[in-house]
Amino acid sequence: MSDFQPTSRTQVKRLPKRAHYDRETVYQILDTAFVCHVGFSVEGQPFVIPTNYGRSGDTLYLHGSAASRMLKTLSAGVPVCVTVTHIDGLVLARSAFHHSVNYRSVVILGTARLVEDPAEKMEALRCFTNHVMKGRWDDVRQPTEQELKATIVLALPLEEVSAKVRTGGPVDDEPDYALPVWAGVLPLQLTAKPPIPDEQRKNDPPIPGYLKHYKNDSR
């Protein structure tokens, strides 16, 4: 699995030792998060919009209503920046200056294209559904023709990509290690609670195995 080649726009300049350009790290970060932030500019006005996404190979898919201003704008070829972030811990140092967080993040730069091929559009929707819950696509009703028409799907190639990761404890100034201040890391992790059935259910099939044994393998 080859690495992404850093460009002048994706080369990590601030703390470059935290940079990762390998596909394994990038894919792991993307595949275990649920929300990305989409940044773009329209007539000088910047916007950053949170949304869901799905990945298939080296393509990131965005989707939404056919009335979405964001998706219509991006389909016209406006440059876009997509970011995904995990927060893995709060880093508590002995000084206020050195407080930090442990994180994993990905930045993607590029131009999205409108997905018009019906087969690719359906594949993208499968990716979205299974990204929310692996295995879910095979259980649910497939989109109707009307639903497909009401949905815009964009494809963003994973070409200009970089990841940045911080791990470990606080890094204090040497004199501060003698201070009587607790220092360390408070780990954070996304966990699932027991499923809550829909109150409008008409029948009660068993809870699917992928839901009963759900685990987000974000680490």
pLDDT digits (tens, 9 = 90+) for 76-100: 999 999 999 999 999 999 999 999 9
Q: What is the mean pLDDT of residues 153-179?
A: 96
Q: Map residue 197 onto helix, strand or coil.
A: coil
Coil/strand/helix, residue 104: strand
pLDDT tens-digit readout, 124-150: 999 999 999 999 999 999 999 999 999
Burial class (CB in 10 A: 0-12, 13-18, 19+), 24: exposed
Would you state the pLDDT for residue 218?
62
Amino acid 193 reads K
pLDDT, tens digit, for every residue of 38-54?
999 998 999 999 999 99
Tell whether the model's pLDDT for residue 34 goes beyond 80.
yes
Q: Percent of the chain scored above 70 by pLDDT? A: 98
The 10s digit of each residue's pLDDT in 113-127 is 999 999 999 999 999
CATH fold for the domain made of 16-87+101-167: Pnp Oxidase; Chain A (2.30.110)
Spatial separation of the C-alpha atoms in residues 189 and 187, rounded to whole Å: 7
pLDDT over 90, % of the chain: 75
Fill in the DSSP letter of residue 73. H
Count other C-beta atoms under 10 Å from residue 104's C-beta: 24
- Residue 1 — very low, low, confident or very high, per pLDDT cuts 50/70/90? low
| Residue 63 in this model has a pLDDT that exceeds 90 | yes
Tell me the pLDDT band of 187, cut-offs 50, 70 and 90: very high
DSSP code of 29? H
The rounded mean pLDDT for the chain is 93
Structure confidence at residue 199 (pLDDT): 85
Q: What is the pLDDT of residue 94?
A: 98
Looking at residue 15, what is its pLDDT? 83
Q: What are the tokens at 160?
A: 């200009």
